[in-house]
Amino acid sequence: RLRIEHLISSTQPSEAELHPGSDVVRGLSQTPKTLPPRYFYDDRGSQLFEQICNLPEYYLTRTETNILQQYAGAIADLTGSCELIELGSGSSTKTRILLDAYQNAEHEVIYCPIDISAGILESSAQQLLLDYPDLRVHGFAGTYELALEKLPDSELPTRVIGFIGSTLGNLNPQACETFIQQITNALKPGEYFLLGIDLHKSTPQLEAAYNDSQGITAAFNLNMLRHLNRRFAGDFDLTQFEHVAIYNESQRQIEMHLRSVRSQVVHLKALDLTVEFAAGETILSEISRKFDLEQTQHLLESKGLTPVEVWTDQHHWFGVLLCQL
Ligand code: AVJ
């Protein structure tokens, strides 16, 4: 009941495949300096992220989980039997709420998790097979782009592409448009897109969620430098950088930085890269955009994805949208 395909682009390898770390070189050579958020997620970073999801200040995961618990039955009834394709499936914790709902409604599901990390994909798929004796799992280890291009036609009446957890917030508006276009290209008329997004709210609440009192988010942010040290033979001194997260109200995004506490020089030997930092200079390690439910609906609609149903919590902190092509 388990099949995992490892996607590699043999015909047209991407720049990232041909030159691992070229994105790091580009980001650190720029002013202001940036790094791609995907470097958060080595094994330790994925563990820290799981801890973040359980923090009292980090309302996102808890709120989305509650929305899914309340409306998973409605989602299952609206789509019926389907292939459930999840982008960035990780540990598949929230997915279980959906799988339970389809099971209760006696709708058949083939679960297609897509994740860049083959290890977490394999282990969470094995666990799901144990817990759901009728479930078929067809996973893809690779990037969203490749997986979306290579998705086979559905064996079941329809497909649902799920992108929950507000990962969309990591994309700037232009990248967001490109991404939605990739979704519509991958779907056939009548098929669904299930999206979870964090919503705009007060600055103190947002800044608390990204500056938790236990310092887990700070550790998560700094771990990116440890990851780069290991991957690219670097000498970032983690004691000489500090975590900064501020809400940019006009752009409606949390901006997470690594700030150099003094002037210093860092080397990444495997990339043949030397980087100079001024005292107080920052690296932008992540944007986390906070959306407006109506604006997002209009954006999806303008790309041909019609919102079928929109759910939120009592405080309007988080939104879940089911759209149809
Ligand atoms: C996984 C991108 C949704 O933006 O809230 C958590 C990552 N960064 N704390 C987010 C994150 C800092 C998270 N996303």
Higher pLDDT, 115 or 169: 169
Say how far apart CA 228 and CA 39 lie, in whole Å: 8
- The confidence score (pLDDT) of residue 10 equals 62
Q: How far is the CA of 159 from the centre of ligand 1 (A)?
A: 27
- The confidence score (pLDDT) of residue 146 equals 86
ipTM (interface pTM): 0.99
For residue 233, the tally of other CB atoms under 10 A from its CB is 12
pLDDT digits (tens, 9 = 90+) for 135-185: 999 999 888 888 898 888 889 999 999 999 999 999 999 999 999 999 999
Q: Which residue has the tokens 């459930």?
A: 84
- The confidence score (pLDDT) of residue 307 equals 96
Backbone angles phi, psi at 238, to 5 degrees: -65, -20
Q: How far is the CA of 265 from the centre of ligand 1 (A)?
A: 28
CA distance to 25, 41, 259, 262, 264, per residue, from 267 (Å): 11, 21, 17, 16, 10
pLDDT digits (tens, 9 = 90+) for 57-114: 999 999 999 999 999 999 999 999 999 999 987 777 899 999 999 999 999 999 999 9
- The confidence score (pLDDT) of residue 22 equals 94
pLDDT digits (tens, 9 = 90+) for 8-24: 766 676 777 778 899 99
- The confidence score (pLDDT) of residue 5 equals 85
Instruction: Show Cβ contacts of residue 103 under 8 Å, excluding neighbours closer than 6 positions.
Output: 109, 132, 134
Q: What angle do CA 158, 159, 163 make, to 5 degrees?
A: 155
Higher pLDDT, 222 or 145: 222
The ligand 1 atom nearest the CA atom of 245: 12
What average pLDDT does the segment 300-311 reach?
97
What average pLDDT does the segment 30-34 reach?
97
Q: Are 260 and 241 in contact (CB under 8 A)?
A: yes
Say how far apart CA 291 and CA 253 lie, in whole Å: 9
The ligand 1 atom nearest the CA atom of 60: 5
Q: How far is the CA of 209 from the centre of ligand 1 (A)?
A: 10
The answer on pLDDT for 6 being more than 90 is: no
Where would I find the beta strands (DSSP E) of the chain? 2-6, 33-34, 82-87, 109-115, 136-141, 158-163, 192-198, 241-248, 253-260, 264-268, 273-277, 282-289, 306-312, 318-324
Residue in 166, 198, 244 to alter for ligand 1 test, most ligand atoms within 8 A of Cβ: 166
- The confidence score (pLDDT) of residue 89 equals 75
The ligand 1 atom nearest the CA atom of 254: 4
Residue in 52, 64, 288, 289 to alter for ligand 1 test, most ligand atoms within 8 A of Cβ: 288
Q: How far is the CA of 288 from the centre of ligand 1 (A)?
A: 6
- The confidence score (pLDDT) of residue 135 equals 94
- The confidence score (pLDDT) of residue 68 equals 97
Q: How far is the CA of 311 from the centre of ligand 1 (A)?
A: 21
The answer on pLDDT for 248 being more than 80 is: yes
Say how far apart CA 55 and CA 49 lie, in whole Å: 10
Closest residue CA from atom 4 of ligand 1: 288
Around ligand 1, the residues with Cβ closer than 6 Å are 52, 60, 165-167, 169-170, 210, 217, 286, 288
